[in-house]
Structure 1
Amino acid sequence: MTKPPPQCVHCGQDWVRRYRRKDCGQVFFMCPECESLWLDEADVHDGTDLYLSEFLLTGDSAADWAAIEPCAGPTP
Structure 2
Amino acid sequence: MICPRCEQDEIKKIKIKEIDKYFFLCPECDATWFSIDEVGVTPFVDFETYMEESGFLVSWDNLENL
Q: TM-score range by the shorter chain?
A: 0.7 to 0.9
Structure 1: runs of 5 or more not aligned:
1-5, 72-76
Q: Tell me if 1:26 matches 2:21.
A: yes
Task: Kindly report the root-mean-square deviation, in angstroms, between the aligned alpha carbons of the 2 structures.
Answer: 2.1
Q: How many residues align?
A: 63
Distance 1:47 1:12, change over 3 A: farther
Q: Tell me if 1:40 matches 2:35.
A: yes
Bigger strand share: 2
Considering only CA atoms, is the larger Rg found in Structure 1 or Structure 2? 1
Bigger helix share: 2
TM-score, with structure 2 as normaliser: 0.79
Sequence identity (%): 24
Structure 2: runs of 5 or more not aligned:
none
TM-score, with structure 1 as normaliser: 0.70
